[in-house]
Amino acid sequence: MDDSIDRWLSVDEICQHLGVSKDTVYKWIDKHDMPAHRMGRPWKFKKDEVDEWVRKGGANETISDQA
């Protein structure tokens, strides 16, 4: 079994995975588009949920908002 699928990722890790800035990730969370979970204060992400969201075009809508 691949443990990386079930591991929670931090904001820094999801930024690195997606190649975007923290500001972009926080904008995506604020728009309620990006699948993110609060664990106390920090946000955490499931890689498979975020990858599915990206595949469905979730990142495309908000990238155009930045231009």
Q: Give me the count of residues in the chain.
A: 67
Over residues 25-43, mean pLDDT: 92
Domain that holds residue 33: 3-60
DSSP, collapsed to helix, strand or coil, labels residue 43 as strand
Mean pLDDT score of the chain, rounded to an integer?
86
Residue 9: CATH number of its domain = 1.10.10
Whether 37 and 5 have beta carbons less than 8 Å apart is answered as no
Neighbour-count burial for 6-37, b at 16+ CB within 10 Å, e otherwise: eeebebeebbeebebeeebbebbbeeeebbbe
What confidence score (pLDDT) does residue 50 get? 96
Q: How many domains does the chain contain in total?
A: 1
Q: Is the pLDDT of residue 63 over 70?
A: no
Whether 47 and 5 have beta carbons less than 8 Å apart is answered as yes
pLDDT level of residue 60 (50, 70, 90 thresholds): confident
Q: Does 36 fall in a domain?
A: yes
DSSP state of 35: -
